[in-house]
Structure 1
C-alpha cells in the first residue's frame, strides 16, 4: 500500500525566541489584565488586606487566611509613609510576606525598610469556634515593625468579629505584664533588637513573645458583596514613628472601608489614630488560574485516525524502499505546523520512533498527545507502537514515552481517557538510543536570532530603591551538531537611573556589590558568549561543559553532572567552575580576581508540586556554605519560592542583611495570555545584594532543562494529553 503523504510541508528555520527580562511592576501590570472582573457573591470569600498588607481589619490582623495560593500585592499610603507588600498563601494554613516601606523624614532623612512576616492558621473557623492564627511580623528585618500576635476571628452572617493579643509593636499601647511570665521570668522583658544597618536581617528569636502584651480587636460589616466597613481598637502605639517622624497618635480607634472593584482588585480608605487619612490599592490573583483560557488558545489538535478492521495485518508498505523517507518528511512537516521539531525518526513494521523538540507547547504531556495523534494520522496501519522521545531545546534526549496505538483509538473520547492513557503508557529513560533512525535532511545546523528590548532591574538600595536599565539586545544561537550550542548576546544601553547608587562598603571581595559599575558604560556590551556541549554519559546521567563569558561579571569554564532517574522525584548534581571577573566595560577583557567555585546539589519534588533544593559548596567570595530553597510550582508553569544562604562569613562581615535571602518567581507568558510563547518573567528579589553567599550565574544548568521531560512532571501535566 502506498505511504500517505498528506500534510507534507517544507522545512523552515526555527523561530527565534524573544528574550525579554521584565521587572516586577511590568509583570504585575500584565497580571492585572488577566483575571475575571466578576465580584464574588460571598463578601467573605476572600479577606480584605489591612495597611500592613495582610488579612486584617484596618491596621490590625485577622485570623482568616487567603485562599490557597493567592498572591496579593498592596500599596498603601498615609502621613509620610508608603507601604508595599507581597503576601503569598504558601499552603492553606501558612503564608509569607515581604514588605518594603518608605518613611519620609525618619530621623530627618528618607528611610527604606524591608521586612518579612509569617502567619500560620492554628484552627479553622467552625460552626461555634473562631479561626485562630499565630503571626510573626518583621522577624528578619530591621525590627521597626517587629511584633507577634495570636488572633481569633468569628463570622456572624454579614458581621465578622476579631480579637487578639500581641507583643512588640502589638503590645505597645495600653500594655500589661506578659501572661507568658507564668511560664518563665524571661518572657517579662523584651531584649533590645539588633540595631544599625549592618545588624539588620537577623532572626531575633530571643525577642519573640517577650515584654508587655496588649489586646486589640475590631468589627467588619459587609454592606453588600463589594463594600465592607471596618472599625478597630489598635494596640500599636506607633512609638518609632512618633519619636522620629512626628507622627500623631491621638486615638487607638481606626475607621475604614474597603470597596471590591473586581474580584481581585480592592480600594480601601481609612482614618487612622485620630490624626491622618490613609488609602490603599490591593490586587490578588491566584496562580492556579491566572487566565481566562486555562486550556490555552492554540490550534486544535488533529483527531486520532481510526484504522479499518483487519488493516493492521497489511505489511505491503514495508516493501516500498522510500517509505521511511516519505514518512519522515511528512511527519516533519506536520510537526512543524504545530510548532514542534522532528529530531530523528525511524519506522519498522510494528513500531514507529520519533525524537521531538516540543518548542513552545504549553506542557510536555500535551506535546506527547499531539505527536501521537499526528503519528496515528500518518503511520501505516500495521504500526501499533509509538515511541516518542522528548528532547530538550539544547539537544539532550531525556525520556521515551511508549504508547499503544489501539489505546489511543479506544480512549480519545473516554470520560477518563487522560488518566487511562497515562496508566497504559510507559515512560523510560531515553538511553539506550535505537539505531537506524534518520536525522532529517537540513536539520542541522539549527540557528535562531532575535533583536528585542531588554529591561534589567535591581531593588532596595537605600539611595535608589529601584534601579532600571532599558536597552536593545541582539541575541543569537547556533547548534552545528546535536548537543553543541554556541550562543551569545550583545546589548546597547539606552537609558538608566543607576547613577548615584552607593559604592560598595563590603570587606569581602567585591564579587557582586560592584555590579553597578558594570552598568555605567554607554558603549555596546557583550552580555554573554558561551559554547556548551551537552551529552549523556550513561543511563539516568546528564552532563555539560560550558566555556566563555557566562554573565556580565564573570567568564570561565564550567562543568556539571546530573543524576536524575526518569521516574524519580530525587536528583543529585555536581558542578565545578573556574570563574574570572570581567572588566567593567564588558568587552573581552578580564580583571585579576579568579576563583574556583562549585556546589553539590540535591533536588526533590515533593507532593503538591513543592520543590526543595539544597546547594552546598564554595561561593564566589571563597566562602563555604549552603543555600536552601523551596518553590511551589503550579500546573501552568508559574513558580513562587524563597531561598536563604548561610556560609562561614559572619553576620558582621556580611554586612547589611546579615545573610543572603530572598524570594523568587517565574511566570511564563503563556500562563497569562493562553498563547504559546517562550517569553517568561523571572526574578529573584533580595532585600540587599551583598558578596557573601554569591553564586555564579550559569544559564546552561541541567536540572531545570531535564526535569520537565521526566515522569513526575509528565504525570502532573497528563490532564493536557488530549488538548
Structure 2
C-alpha cells in the first residue's frame, strides 16, 4: 500500500511525535491528553485489552484539530447470525474529534475538549475536557469525562448549575447509529481522570500511569468487566520515528498490547528522482537562431520528454514566446515551468525576453505563467535570490492575443494504459475486510481537442467477494445498496464509457457536457458549469444529470430506475492554513434533497486530508444504520513515494457504511479539478522547485 511505504520511509522530523492512547490520538492509556501531534501527523494503531481489540486511524489535519476513526472488535460477542457472519465477532464503528481551545504557555496548560463516538453507534460515547502541562520530561494531565469514560459517575455534573437537564443522560439513537446525539453531550454524572507520562533518559522509552473514570460496570451490550483498580500503568517503546510498541496493565487484572505506525505526511519529501531526466544543461554558447528558424517539432518533443509539457501550440507575440500545453509529469507546477524555460534557452536566440506557459487541461485554458528569461538566468547563476525572482513572475488569466503561430502540434488521437487498482470495504457483516485487486485499461480518443471519448475496462484478478452475501436493508430506491451485485456479477466490467466536451465560455466561466456510462452504477447525460474567476479564492459550480441505473454486469444494459439529479456547489479556499470548504445543495440519486459539506486541507507537498457529511430530507430511520452519509479521505501524490516524477495520486476513502440516502453521481471529470492550476498556492509554495 502507498501509505505503508510512507510509514517506513524514515522521514526526517524535528520533534518526536507524542504517543497515542489505546483509543488512538494523543494520550495515556484509556484516557486522552490535551497535547496535539504536529499538523500532518497520521497514525495507524492496533491495541488489544480483552475483550476489546481497537483499530485506530488518527489524523491531525490542523494544529488544533485531531480526528480519529475506529473499529472496535468485541471478541466475546458475535457480529450476527452464523449463517450471515460465520464466526466473525462484533465490530463497532466510531469517530472521535478533539479540539484544542487553549495552547500551553509558561504558566498555563494545553486545554482540549473532545467527543468520542461522535457519529457512530454510541456504544462508547463520551465527552471530556482535559488539560495537560509539561514539566521537563514529565507531562501531567487532568480531566473530567461524561458518558463511557466517566461511567464511575462519582461527581455531580458541574453543568447542572445552568440547567437540571444536565443531571441525566438519555439513551442515544432510537435504534439507529450514526446520529449526532447532541442532547446527550456533557450530560449525566461525571468522573475525574488524569495521569503522568515520563520520558525516560533512554530516549526510546516512555512510561505512563493514569487514573481513569470508567468503572466497567456499564459496558456495551450488557457487559460488566471486573476492575481491581482504576489505576493503569504502561510503557511505550519507540523503535524509530515510525513505529511504537505499547504494553500495559489495566483494570488491575488485564494486559494491554499495542503497535502504532505513524508518520508526518505533511512533511514528507519526495525521494531522489533517479528515473527523471537531468535538467537541460545551460548553453555554453548562447543560441543565435531567431524563433522563425527553430525546429519547433524537435523542441516540442524535448519539452514533453524533459519538462513534462504536452505541447499543443508554440507562438510568438513580440518579445514573448508562448508555449501552450498540458503538464503530464511534474506535480509541482514550478518545476515543469523551470525545465521548459531551460529547454527554450537552448534553442531560442536574441529577441525573446519572456517565456509564457499557458497551462491547459483537457484543452481548457487555465492559467498563463510568465517568467523573464534574463531574470531566470540570474536566478540559475545565483545572482539573485528566490524572493527577488518571484517579484518578476506574472500569472494571468489566458486572454486572446495577437500572435504569430510558430508550431501547431498534430494531436495524438488515441492514448491508453494499464494500471492496477485495489479496493476494499471494511466492517461488514460477512467479513471485516472484503477486497479486490483488479487490472484496468484506461483509454481516451480525441475527436477534437475539446471533444473526446474515455473508457475503462476492469478485470478482476484477486478478491474475497465470494463471502459477500449481505444486501443492506433500505426504504429508499436502491441506488447504492445493490453494490454486492455490481461487484460479484462479472469478472470483466466497464466502469466508464463516455463522450465528453469541455469549453471556456467566457473569462472565468467553463462548461462541460457528457453522455454515456458515467460510473459503475449509472449512465446517462449531463452537464456542468463553473465560474472560477482568476485571482479569487472562491468558485461557484452546478451540474444537472439525467441518469438511469445500469445492469449489474456493468455492460451496456440498463435497469428501470431513472432520475434527474444534480447539485450547486460553492467552493471557498479560506486562505487560512490551506483549508478549502465546499458546500453543495441539490437532489441526490435516491430522489432526496439536501446538502453536503466537504472540508479539506492541502499541504504544500500536495497531500490532502478531508472529511464530508451529507444531510438530506430522509430521516435517520428511513436512511437506516448510519443515519446520514459521511466519510474521511486522504489523497497522497505518488510523487512522494516513487523515484520518478508523476502527477498521479493514491486515494483512501473511509465511508462507515454504504447507504442510499445522500448518494451523489461519481462523475469521472469535474471542472473544479480540471481548473486546479488556478490555485496559485501550489506554484507559490513550491517555487524553489523551478530550479530543479
Aligned counterpart in structure 2 of residue 577 of structure 1, from 519, 542, 545: 545
Equivalence map 1:331-410=2 (5 Å): 331-347=300-316, 350-392=319-361, 394-410=362-378
**Deviation digits for residues 64-86 of structure 1 (CA, Å, limit 9, x no counterpart):** 11112211221111213211112
Q: Aligned partners of 1:654, 1:448: CA distance in 2, in Å?
A: 42
SS of equivalent to 2:584 = strand
Q: Given the alignment of the two structures, is residue 186 of structure 1 paired with residue 165 of structure 2, yes or no?
A: yes
Unpaired segments ≥5 residues, structure 2? 81-88
What is residue 189 of structure 2 aligned with on the other side?
A: 212
What is residue 566 of structure 2 aligned with on the other side?
A: 598
Aligned counterpart in structure 1 of residue 261 of structure 2, from 283, 288, 292: 283
Q: Given the alignment of the two structures, is residue 27 of structure 1 paired with residue 27 of structure 2, yes or no?
A: no
Unpaired segments ≥5 residues, structure 1? 1-25
What is residue 633 of structure 2 aligned with on the other side?
A: 664
What is residue 451 of structure 1 aligned with on the other side?
A: 418
SS of equivalent to 1:87 = strand
- 1:192 to partner: Cα distance: 1.7
**Deviation digits for residues 424-446 of structure 1 (CA, Å, limit 9, x no counterpart):** 222112232655425545x3234
What is residue 323 of structure 1 aligned with on the other side?
A: 293
Question: Structure 1 residues 411-420 or 588-597, which shifts more?
Answer: 411-420
Q: Aligned partners of 1:660, 1:603: CA distance in 2, in Å?
A: 20
- 1:674 to partner: Cα distance: 5.3
Q: Aligned partners of 2:660, 2:108: CA distance in 1, in Å?
A: 50
What is residue 68 of structure 2 aligned with on the other side?
A: 97
**Deviation digits for residues 458-477 of structure 1 (CA, Å, limit 9, x no counterpart):** 22323333221223222222
What is residue 581 of structure 2 aligned with on the other side?
A: 612
CA gap 1:701/1:115 in 2 versus in 1, 3 angstroms: same
Q: Aligned partners of 1:434, 1:77: CA distance in 2, in Å?
A: 70
- 1:328 to partner: Cα distance: 4.5
Aligned counterpart in structure 1 of residue 28 of structure 2, from 57, 60, 82: 57
Q: Aligned partners of 1:684, 1:508: CA distance in 2, in Å?
A: 24
8 Å contact kept, 1:253–1:273: yes
- 1:206 to partner: Cα distance: 1.2
Q: Aligned partners of 2:25, 2:469: CA distance in 1, in Å?
A: 31
- 1:305 to partner: Cα distance: 5.3
8 Å contact kept, 1:327–1:379: no
| Larger strand fraction of residues | 2
Q: Aligned partners of 2:317, 2:151: CA distance in 1, in Å?
A: 79
Equivalence map 1:640-651=2 (5 Å): 640-651=609-620
Aligned counterpart in structure 2 of residue 166 of structure 1, from 145, 150, 157: 145
CA gap 1:75/1:541 in 2 versus in 1, 3 angstroms: same
Equivalence map 1:696-711=2 (5 Å): 696-711=665-680
Q: Given the alignment of the two structures, is residue 514 of structure 1 paired with residue 482 of structure 2, yes or no?
A: yes
- 1:267 to partner: Cα distance: 0.6
Aligned counterpart in structure 1 of residue 11 of structure 2, from 2, 19, 36: 36
Q: Given the alignment of the two structures, is residue 634 of structure 1 paired with residue 612 of structure 2, yes or no?
A: no
- 1:301 to partner: Cα distance: 2.4
Q: Aligned partners of 1:698, 1:306: CA distance in 2, in Å?
A: 50
What is residue 262 of structure 1 aligned with on the other side?
A: 240
8 Å contact kept, 2:546–2:562: yes
**Deviation digits for residues 156-212 of structure 1 (CA, Å, limit 9, x no counterpart):** 22222222111111221252211222222121111221242xx21111111111111
Q: Given the alignment of the two structures, is residue 119 of structure 1 paired with residue 98 of structure 2, yes or no?
A: yes
8 Å contact kept, 2:290–2:348: no
**Deviation digits for residues 2-42 of structure 1 (CA, Å, limit 9, x no counterpart):** xxxxxxxxxxxxxxxxxxxxxxxx2332222223388x7x7
Q: Aligned partners of 2:481, 2:437: CA distance in 1, in Å?
A: 21
What is residue 225 of structure 1 aligned with on the other side?
A: 203
CA gap 1:261/1:306 in 2 versus in 1, 3 angstroms: same
8 Å contact kept, 2:218–2:224: no
TM-score by length of 2: 0.93
Q: Aligned partners of 1:403, 1:156: CA distance in 2, in Å?
A: 52
Question: Structure 1 residues 623-632 or 97-106, which shifts more?
Answer: 97-106
8 Å contact kept, 2:307–2:337: no
Aligned counterpart in structure 2 of residue 686 of structure 1, from 645, 655, 665: 655
- 1:141 to partner: Cα distance: 1.3
Question: Which 4+ runs in 1 deviate beyond 6 A?
Answer: 294-297
SS of equivalent to 1:360 = coil
Q: Aligned partners of 2:542, 2:402: CA distance in 1, in Å?
A: 29
What is residue 8 of structure 1 aligned with on the other side?
A: none
Q: Given the alignment of the two structures, is residue 527 of structure 1 paired with residue 495 of structure 2, yes or no?
A: yes
What is residue 236 of structure 1 aligned with on the other side?
A: 214
CA gap 1:89/1:650 in 2 versus in 1, 3 angstroms: same
What RMSD over aligned residues (CA atoms) do the two structures have, in Å? Answer: 2.4
Question: Structure 1 residues 623-632 or 162-171, which shifts more?
Answer: 162-171
For these two proteins, the number of residue pairs brought into alignment is: 681
